[in-house]
Structure 1
Amino acid sequence: MRENKRFLWIFLIIFMIFGAIFFQVWEYSKQSKRIIQEQTDYILYEHVETVKNNFLKRMEEQYNSLNAVANYINGQNEFLIDDISTFKQYIHFTSCFDKFGLVDVETGIAEFDQGSLVEVSDEAFFKDSAQGRPSIQCFNNGIGGTSQLVLSIPLYRDGIVTSILIGTFSHNLVEDSIRHNFYDEDSYLYVTDKQGNILSNDQETDLLNGYSNIFAYLDSKAVDTNEIRYRIEKNEISSFMDSSGEEKRFMTYIPLGINEWYLFCSTPDYGISRFTNEFEVLGSNIIFKIILLCVAVCITTYFFIRQATSSIKKEHERFKMAEEVAGMISFEGDYAKDILVVNDNYYKQFGRGPSFQTISDFKKPHPFIIEEDQGVFLKMGLNLIAGKESDTVEFRTICRDGSIQWHQFVYRVWHDRTGAPLKCYGMIVPIDQQMKEISKLQMQVKKDSLTGALNRMAFENNVNLCFEEPELANKRHAMLLLDLDNFKQINDGYGHALGDHALITTTEILRSNVRSSDYVGRLGGDEFVVFLKNANEEQAAKKAAEICEALERAELKSDEAVVTCSIGVACYPKSGISFNQLYEAADEALYKVKGSGKNSYSMAN
């Protein structure tokens, strides 16, 4: 009789499974059109995102190439347009620039490396860079008679923008690098502004039949552009089907993130159909395989049920053995009875019984957790008492031999239908070795391997975090940018061993002359940097003088030269409110020292 009831239950389960399968097949047929449309949109959005990212990556590469030239020019006393040809050799393989030029800020005249002169004072890029901002714009001022993209970077003399370095390139030159393999020769890419004016396209043959505005073209094809304009105004990505021509085409548009420009990508429908057809075939295959799988599952369910109890028992025994081997402490709590049961590993780990016998005990300080970690452990304990679903905390405990070791406390709470907590289960896992390895790796990532000073990334991060702390953000600080004088003569003449000694000694001198709360970093080569917290201009100048004197007293020298230092000092917030701003100001001050005799310091304007 019991076997008949069991068979009846299995039959009912199988019947419900098949009923659910046939319902899903019917639902799939009804919703297939919607699913295919969603899949189509997903494919279009994914590929247009790839094209966009390729475009932005290429623009970033061009900016880095041009910025390298600008940095060099800023370091020269005099630079002529004829000198640009030298740089074109070096950046030819990494850039798409076809022309370079220098713009005089006073006259607004651009002189190009090919000898042409062009008036650019009304151009947007000129207005941006004259104000000290790099810019990328569309340039239609007759250079070669074609529309071009132009990158511009301001050049400075004594902290004032005196000229602008520009590099131009046509959209066609970056076509190969931004075109994704999804977009073949029958596809078109257009860059437009928010009003739909076409700034550039990537092919000589034009889908738009000479229209200079994409909305005007779509209006001519009786395409409703109201929704397109609305989505563009909201900076959204979207797509639509254009069925007005000889062939159906999908057009997808996405904001580029530059100057409110948009990227329009048009591709024929056969480019999408190969994906959607695969999706339909895949869906049918999946349904068929699901039916077969469900039949197999129903047949074998009965046999698995018979073995379930035995398997669970064995798994429980294996888990207990794993706990013993790994030294894990497990516990189980009952909220209704307010009890907590901890396994024997607790005594083996700590040489004493657990200090918490009930769930409520977690609101009390733990006697064997070090004081610094009591706060995070109590916070986790209050979450456990309140029935929060899960939590994890790392803390340090005093073991029975007096050593301090890291442990991790992990728990999970099960609730009833009303949301009230019923049971909690968790583990205390020893993680001392892992935490020591993590600490070691963190030190390697943050420290300069030769001197032990902070590397550039760690130093910059510490400084910027300092400005975000409320108690420090409203106070004055100072950054000292230090460069060793005559270091090259010692390094080249006597080898890297003596050079490394000079770098290490410099680090030790810097550390001995600042407070433990200040930061000492090595940015690379013989360039060091110091960040003084809570220091005004007078204190920063005094400290810079002390460092110069200390390094001079160290007598790091060879037969050819004596190592001294030049220091540029920038103060927060007067000279900048971020690491990069302070660095630029200090670098300008350092440049003045280098040009006036070295072995001294200068304050940034």
Structure 2
Amino acid sequence: MQGNKKFWRIFLIFVIFFGVVFFLIFDYSWRCKCFIEEQTYTALRKQAETVRNDFWQRLEGEFTLLDSFSDYMGKEDDFSLEKIRDFKDENSFLQVFEKFAIADVETGLVEFEDGTYVDISQKKAYINAIRGERDIDYFQHDGADMGKLILATPIYQENRITGVLIAVLNDAVAEKQTPMVSFEESGFVCVTDQQGNALRFAHPYESFDLQGNIFAYFDAKNVNTGEMISDMGNDLINSFSYDNGEEKWYTAYIPLGINDWYIFCFAPNVLTTGVTGEFESMETFFIIQMFLLFGVACIFIYFLMWRAATQIKKENECLKTAEEVAGVVSFEGNYQKDTFVVSDNYFKQFGRSPVWHKISDFGKPHPFILKEDQEAFLKMGQSLIAGKETGNVQYRFFGSDGKIQWNQFVYRVWYDRHGRPKKCYGMIMPIDQQMKEISKLQTQVEKDPLTGVLNRMAFEFYVNHCFKEELGEQTHALLLLDLDNFKQINDGYGHVLGDYALITTAELLKACVRNSDFVGRLGGDEFVVFLRNVNKEQAANKAGEICEALEKAEMKSNEAIVTCSIGIACFPKDGCNFSELYGRADQGLYKVKGSGKNSFYMVD
């Protein structure tokens, strides 16, 4: 049975440890994947920021060119589209623009170099330009797959705006504005407005089926776009992942800082494969380490169990020796099997075999226990049979030599997980010598059995002893206290409350005085207090404090109020020993009783 227990302990430890190991592995793997994803999101956001910074720098250069061209035009009296075309051909640095046009400040109508007319009066760039601000906008002809980026700047003549210079960015230049290839040609970049309309793509449009709107693209991928729309409405940065067919993709988006446009950066999961492989190798190495640690732990646990078993064996041998030396007997009872087994020392101690072989045997009278102690022992036996947690009984027993021996039977019950008694353990100890000593001491007992304060004999002894030790002219006081109407409390509320009042009074008196003072009970409801090294005023104040405290003390019945009367006598004026002081204090007590009670009186 003991071997099976050890086996199950090892198996339980194995299961727990194995579970912890796998939990650590899965937790580590999850943390690694989270780390990789976070690094991917960080890289995407940095890429988007790089695109945005490039866009700003290039745009600033293009606006500088356009402003210079606008200043030049403002100085000319007549500047036709032909002159614009000729000027563009003559200056190669203007080749970054595909074509130019001048918008009428009144109508917003634009005539381009190729003869096409376009109404841009509702375009934000045109509206800002006629207000004196340069701006960039997006324009798409009807039926065109991809729109154009247009730049607008005001033309000033004689300090007033006479037109708006419109320049369409060359597609090659626009592609440089949003780098077409990023992430080692695996990912792509897209610029959208706040409504999700795709303005520029950094990858072939057909490859990703954007359908002209980023929200429509994500809706087709079953991605919730609600949070994305909210973020873009509040100029927030965010990132997430989604399933693009059989492959996982990562996306980050940040505001471009121009108009309400946003930059989206996309990267496939294949970019993280190398990093993931490194982490998987680390994970495999970690698993191997855990299994090695598990093997070492199993060996170590087995060693500990072997050492524990050896130690238990030694301890049992030591316990057996100690029992023989001390003359005690240990026992063990099993409630399920109804067995009771004593140690081998029983026969050596008592000279006969035990009469208990089952726990249920304790319900029967023991043939060798004195008649006077049978009732107490049987009561303890019933508690043991019932499975009461602890039990203790002292009894007299006839030894094999016919002599009476005092013994003490002590036990403790252990319970199963359902609260049912399982086993009991205990000892039978010889206490013959101790009982003889106790018998001697009982004749000299000092304490009042009910209240725990000094009894009359002990109190008188300590007071008189105090007088014998006194040096100099020290003063003391003896307070004789009697509970008022105590008989009525006993008769009206019962002796239980009466005893409680006596106990409460004793506790209150001990709380009111110093450790160097004495408190005693002379009998009945009469208490006495000896205050050392106090004068009359201090004694009177203490008596008043006691009266007040007792009146406020809580009793078991809310209707019962306990008060007291106190007579005070002082040493050495009123007497030089306990008897003299007691007599004088008694006179003061009766004066208080005759004048209304619940007070104190100091004798003259």
How does the TM-score come out when normalised to structure 2?
Answer: 0.39
The structure whose Rg is larger is: 2
